[in-house]
Structure 1
Amino acid sequence: MISALNRLVDLVEEHLAEEIDVQALASELGTTEYHLRRMFSSLTGMPLSEYVRRRRMTVAAGDVVRGGADLLSIAVRYGYGSTEAFGRAFRAVHGAGPRDVRRDGGPLRTQPRLRIRLTVEGSTPMDTRLIDRPAFRLVGHAARVPLVHQGVNPHILRHITALPQEAHLRLKALGDTEPAGLLQVSDGVDPDGTEGSELTYLHGVAVSRETATPDDLDAIEVPAGTWAVFRTAGAHPQALQTTWAATATEWFPSNPWRLRPGPSIVTILERADDFSTATCELWLPVEPA
């Protein structure tokens, strides 16, 4: 996977002024575009699209400062149809428009070319199991919320706290299959993992396909497949978020599995009364790499 990501970085450099066919590269490397994008954003802390834009504007800044070509020619060279579109992208990266930078020589913010390396500590084994599950259904109360990488997601917190106690008890009684208990489900996550991008969050339970779903509950159909289940314990949600990040930096690069499209699921096994600490399981849908 590390070599695949570095090949992706090389491809960005070779086609800075063009659309990058990530799907074709993924097929060539024997993986999927979904997994490649998820691993890139997890390891680098930015979506692939953002990295491409930063690199493109870093190189374009050299042409702007050197002069010798009008701004429309430079805009077209880097794939923009107008100086206005180019100027917006340029300002978003550098904090100043190309005309100002041409006149003043700056400010310029450089995005260095990435080179991804894997450092394996090996001192803290990840508590993981692989499980094959038949198709099942996730049912509960869903909401569209923005993605938040660090700390408590306030939008999810508001969604859960707005539910009456009777709703939680009803869901607990309805669940009849693994993953057990009340679940925190994230579905439709942007493969680039862009902060603030929308996803579907469902507070619910897992039921077998044969279980009737009440009409007033939302449902997500989950096909049969393999799941990697990571157990985590400690300060909440920090321990869970650290484990989630470690799946990209440690587990996937070291194991012959890749992410497949589907919901990620968190189940709380034990927790403190104030939720300051918790023991959780993180369920991620996987397939052989």
Structure 2
Amino acid sequence: MDLLTGMNNAVACIEENLEGNDICRKAARAACCSEYHFSRMFSAIAGVTLSEYIRRRRLTLAAFELQRSDTRILDIALKYGYDSADAFARAFYKLHGINPSEARGAGTQLKAYPKLSFHITITGADEMEYRLEDIDFEVRIVGKSNLVSTRQALEQVPALWQEAAQNGLLEQLVAMAWEHPKCRMEGLLGVCGKEASIKDDTFDYFTATRYDGEVPEGMNELILPPHLWAVFPDTVQAWGRIYTDWLPSSGYMLADLPCIECYYAPDSGRRDELWVPVVKGKE
């Protein structure tokens, strides 16, 4: 499935489930993507977070319903995911600038946020650095595996690195990291699970490095097969632009392997990089 098809499938799924639960997980499944990666991808492409888009769509439909029906405000609040009329009223006021009861008055001005639809557009001429790395041998990654919630990954992953710095793991990984360099996937590695298409509530996150020695006690190993990688400097910027700029025009698709953030030694002269597993798209 190509990127645009997946994103439009996800938006259709969101629309079908605005009155239900687990909407983020269902949308990620519709896009054939992990919830963790889907939330990043959605924010990068849409320019708004997934949770904020869902909130706006729900409050848009709630406003329509208030205007065209006499359904109780509490019933509408519960229908669109709010636990109480008060919580609904606060959210409604924040978006529309009026209370729900006022929305029923004639001539009331409200805001409507339409359903998103994704298309390929030319957005500018900003260059985007990348290179392709064809690693023709197995890569052995060793590190500490931690169970991460897909919904809280953006908060939990930085906390794992902070914990590693405090408990000595980071120092141990650094000592392992630059022994016998074998390929350019060196340094400290942040590996999201074992497959890019994580669809469960949790996944294993590796704080790790490439290493060929004996696996230290308390660590795990992950073997990556020979594969083609697209490599981008500046991981923060790359996470967004691979979805909006590079993938739609490159002829490549994401492969079923984890994306890996590579953090290099301060004196290496290299910028941190995002390694993205890719395969050629269908003609």
TM-score, length-scaled by structure 2: 0.65
SS in structure 2 opposite 1:138? Answer: strand
SS in structure 1 opposite 2:217? Answer: coil
1:139–1:205 CA contact under 8 A, matched in 2? yes
- Equivalent position amino acid for 2:273 in 1: E
Q: How many residues align?
A: 260
Deviation at 1:85, TM superposition (A): 3.4
2:136–2:226 CA contact under 8 A, matched in 1? yes
Pick aligned residue for 2:249 from 234, 245, 254? 254
Q: How does 1:138-287 map to 2 (within 5 A)?
A: 138-142=141-145, 147-148=153-154, 153=158, 156-160=161-165, 162-163=167-168, 167-168=172-173, 170-172=175-177, 177-188=182-193, 201-207=205-211, 211-217=213-219, 219-224=220-225, 226-232=227-233, 239-269=234-264, 271=266, 278-287=270-279
Deviation at 1:213, TM superposition (A): 1.3
Cα separation, partners in 2 of 1:111 and 1:261, compared to 1, 3 Å: farther
Within 1, Cα distance between the matches of 2:172 and 2:30? 46
- Equivalent position amino acid for 1:114 in 2: L
Q: How does 1:62-141 map to 2 (within 5 A)?
A: 62-71=64-73, 74=76, 78=79, 85=83, 87=85, 90=88, 93-94=91-92, 101-105=99-103, 111-117=113-119, 118-132=121-135, 134-141=137-144
SS in structure 1 opposite 2:229? Answer: strand
1:187–1:262 CA contact under 8 A, matched in 2? no
**Root mean square deviation, CA, Å:** 4.7
Within 1, Cα distance between the matches of 2:232 and 2:47? 23
1:184–1:201 CA contact under 8 A, matched in 2? no
- Equivalent position amino acid for 1:212 in 2: E
1:175–1:205 CA contact under 8 A, matched in 2? no
Deviation at 1:110, TM superposition (A): 5.1
- Between 54-63 and 106-115, report the one with greater CA deviation: 106-115
Within 2, Cα distance between the matches of 1:147 and 1:137? 24
Q: Unpaired runs of 5+ in structure 1?
A: 27-31, 233-238
Cα separation, partners in 2 of 1:75 and 1:266, compared to 1, 3 Å: closer
Deviation at 1:55, TM superposition (A): 0.8
Cα separation, partners in 2 of 1:241 and 1:23, compared to 1, 3 Å: closer
2:174–2:188 CA contact under 8 A, matched in 1? no
The alignment-based identity, stated in percent, is 21
Structure (1 or 2) with the greater strand fraction:
1
Within 1, Cα distance between the matches of 2:259 and 2:132? 15
Cα separation, partners in 2 of 1:214 and 1:154, compared to 1, 3 Å: closer
Within 2, Cα distance between the matches of 1:222 and 1:55? 42
SS in structure 1 opposite 2:177? Answer: helix
Cα separation, partners in 2 of 1:255 and 1:109, compared to 1, 3 Å: same
